[in-house]
Structure 1
């Protein structure tokens, strides 16, 4: 008596497809085919792109195929599995390895046979061409819909609500808030001032907007508030499994004017854009690139990192601290830490740096005199970390088994495995560091640091700015800088 076959029925609908009963129609045809042939079947159904391989239901089905659970995979066409040639080849290889056939309503494929594999490849090329045509039609349709004034965004911007009947934007109760932001900016308040003012006054919106300078800047830059719609400003590409957002070229963007009622006039919007440009631009003479002290000088009063500039007399300067402390309303005080000519700062810095070199030389002499030059023994600590790595690898295998047994979903398993692998990576780095440290004595370590410090003290002024900055970042944590009156003080915090 012949054993009854067990098959997997795979049903997929693309996100772009608008027909809601597409999945039901596919499933009905395929399950009828199974029942007509007296096959046992499991149904896997999902909505997802044909260009993505990590669809949850597809991966769940393939994992069971690998365990020889099915005699065949049944689908309406092979493009339901994938329209991506590379991905389809991977799926076909999985079926071949498991001795699993692929069945459609019109044909049974055995990909181990050259003829079936050849026909499949031809269909794959045709399917890809059809996909490109569908994509082009969707883009043309979107452009025309946008030109008709319909809102195509995923959600309505703050200040508007979406009318499902007209498919257009309408003013919401938040629109006065947006109008006030534009007016305050023209009146002289910065984005930081506006964010603080709205946070302090507990200004609320329907989406519970958190007021930040960056958030206010995005609102001020959005052309939607002048009554226009802009689409395609960014796009998403999938790189190494991650979606990366990037800005598109202006030629690829769709700007449709006067699609809805504006919150601010075109004149006010243009005025704000001009003000933003003027406030954010600095004369080229005042700009200064990477400097040897970049990222190192911290304010001794508030802890902020100081920046650098070139004065009108072409002198390099440490900028005054710009940290604001708000009191009530829009009033604030600025940190009193003043700027200074870089030449004055460097003179004081090299004096203090020389003292650190002398102290380190004395420490080297002390080590040599006491004979405390044994390399530390990290063997026990290394062994402990290796055992932890082995345990984490076992945990990964248990999660994989749990996924196979359907204890975890694919998403849950992936998250757990990623976390475990991250822990393993950290432990492996620690083991390597301990092994390297175990071969270096305290004297070797201090003498190496001392050599770098002496080299910088002798040749620091001759090094390129970036190279000098890299050396200083290796040697020290920060330089605490204070100058309130004419007197300057610094403190070098070494690593």
Structure 2
């Protein structure tokens, strides 16, 4: 009774597992909520509810982190939850959570009204042992889920979330079935790859025909590449590919840890031979890009299109006496509309860069001169002078780098001498 009397304000934490961690329902969550609220009301405790759906192994849960912050602000005398497993089962996070409760002198209360005072060694050890058991139980659950996924895949059942474009999920059969209309788009994408068309142009083709991704977005080159690389289109189900969760897709496990079940989906959209040929073709096409990038120039990867942001590349016009030019942009948006930036003569761009560096150099020299003439305390002026001199060094370094680029046979020797003389004189 003495511990109960110490409690005036409690943080009630409720968590429902994601679907892939168990069979919990909204009804289960409602029962837990009512049970804990009844305990708080019976004991005349002021309460604040923290409720969310998330994994007990994820310490970045928004409501959990919010509760942690408020515990540190001394807003609660106790944390009330169904059990420790509802709060955390992670073997790294559990001792951190327990240490925080002990540090802030906050009690932990379960739905059986068992109160843990972590200043008492016996309570600390009991709760720590509970955390160990929770983590052991969680790892067993994960192992059973992985086994269940593998068994389901062998039976042709789908357990990898929303099926990809071209398939729909049949919840009664727990299988994926072909969406006939979307399957036409998938077959078209594979055929265009075999025809030597790039993934960006394939995306434009699908978008113009009215196809959209599962989320209703326009296709992109990346989404087409993921489609071509996905084994599901040849009837395979691949599970346990990703480890953990993040904003995008998690870390990829070593391939020997993947759960691969061949011929799990019948019929499939693409036969295995077509899938292999398309992937080989895509790999060959992607391997061409590095060879094109080996030919670097003074402005390589430095000039961006002001209209669409694409990096301009440099071309040598054999029909114009090896004249260098920044290539026209011609980048297409997802619907096939081309950027109208027509590029620029390479030497003209060099002139613009040299002129801009010269202007900036003069601005810094003038700023440095004015600063030296001002009557300021010595220490303040010295710091500013040092900063400006450092900027001057950067500008001088840029001029040297530009001269080196000009010397790399990017312009004629006469042009190089003329420009070098111009820079020194100014």
TM above 0.5, one fold? yes
CA contact (8 A) 1:5 1:39 kept: no
Q: RCO (CA 8 Å, sep 6+): is it higher in 1 or 2?
A: 1
Show the 5 A alignment for 1:249-398. Answer: 249-260=254-265, 261-282=267-288, 288=294, 293-296=299-302, 305-307=311-313, 321=327, 324=330, 373-374=370-371
Post-superposition offset of 1:338 = 11
Q: Does the CA contact (< 8 Å) of 2:6 and 2:77 recur in 1?
A: no
Could you say which residue in structure 2 is the equivalent of 1:452? 397
2:235: which partner in 1?
227
Structure 1 residue 295: Cα displacement = 1.1
Number of aligned pairs? 390
The alignment status of 1:213 with 2:194, answered yes or no, reads: no
After superposition, the C-alpha distances for 1:382-415 in whole angstroms (9 at most, x for unaligned) are xxxxxxxxxxxxxxxxxxxxxxxxxxxxxxxxxx
1:12 to 12, 15, 21: 15
**Equivalent position of 1:111 in the other structure:** 118
Instruction: Find 2:151's aligned residue among 144, 147, 158.
Output: 144
Using the TM superposition, name which of 103-112 and 41-50 deviates more.
41-50
Range moving further from structure 2, 152-161 or 352-361: 352-361
1:82 Cα deviation from its structure 2 partner? 1.7
437-446 or 203-212, which deviates more? 437-446
Matches within 5 A, 1:6-85: 6=8, 7-15=10-18, 16-20=21-25, 21-24=27-30, 26-27=32-33, 30=36, 38-40=43-45, 42=47, 44-62=50-68, 65=71, 70-85=76-91
Residues 373 and 443 of structure 1 are in contact (CA less than 8 Å); yes or no, is this contact kept in structure 2?
A: no
Q: RMSD between aligned alpha carbons? A: 5.2
Cα distance in 1 for residues equivalent to 2:304 and 2:51: 57
Aligned to 1:440: 385
Q: 5+ residue gaps in structure 2?
A: 316-322, 412-418
C-alpha distance in 2 between matches for 1:232 and 1:363: 61
Superposition deviation, residue 446 in structure 1: 7.7
C-alpha separation between the residues in 2 aligned to 1:63 and 1:298? 44
Partners of 2:371 and 2:29 lie apart in 1 by: 72
Partner of 2:167: 160
Kept after mapping to 1: 8 A contact 2:325/2:343: no
SS at structure 2 position matched to 1:166: coil
How far is the alpha carbon of 1:168 from its aligned partner? 0.7
**1:165-190 C-alpha deviation (Å, 9 max, x unpaired):** 00111111221121122223323433
Change (3 A) 1:49 1:336: closer
Mapped partners of 2:343, 2:401: distance in 1:
28
Displacement of 1:439 after TM fit?
0.8
Aligned equivalents of 2:373 and 2:22: distance in 1?
Answer: 65
Matched, 1:186 2:194: yes
Match of 2:414 in 1: none
Counterpart CA distance in 2 for 1:154 and 1:38 is 43
Deviation string, structure 1 residues 357-401 (Cα, Å, up to 9, x no partner): 99689959x969xx9533699x9xxxxxxxxxxxxxxxxxxxxxx
> For 1:391-446, what per-residue CA distance to the aligned partner results, in whole angstroms no more than 9, with x for missing partners?
xxxxxxxxxxxxxxxxxxxxxxxxxxxxxxxxxxxxxxxxxxxx999813998478
Question: Residue 244 of structure 2: SS of its match in structure 1?
Answer: strand
Going from structure 1 to structure 2, the CA distance change for 1:169 and 1:32 (only over 3 Å counts) comes to same
Cα pair 2:329 2:343 within 8 Å, conserved: no
CA contact under 8 A between 2:11 and 2:79: conserved in structure 1?
Answer: yes
Change (3 A) 1:110 1:318: farther
Aligned-pair CA distance for 1:210: 0.8
* SS of aligned partner of 2:79: strand
Superposed displacement of residue 139, structure 1 = 1.6
- Please, which moves more after superposition, 106-115 or 66-75? 66-75
Structure 1 residues 51 and 318: CA distance shift in structure 2, 3 A: farther
Please give the TM-score of this superposition, normalised by the length of structure 1.
0.61
1:36-89 CA-partner distances (Å, limit 9, x unpaired): x64446355443222233434444555555565554333333232222344334
State the secondary structure of the residue aligned to 2:177: strand
Does the Cα contact within 8 Å between 2:109 and 2:116 map onto a contact in 1? yes
C-alpha deviation, 1:112, in angstroms:
1.3
Q: What's the offset of the Cα at 1:198?
A: 3.4
1:130 paired with 2:137, answer: yes
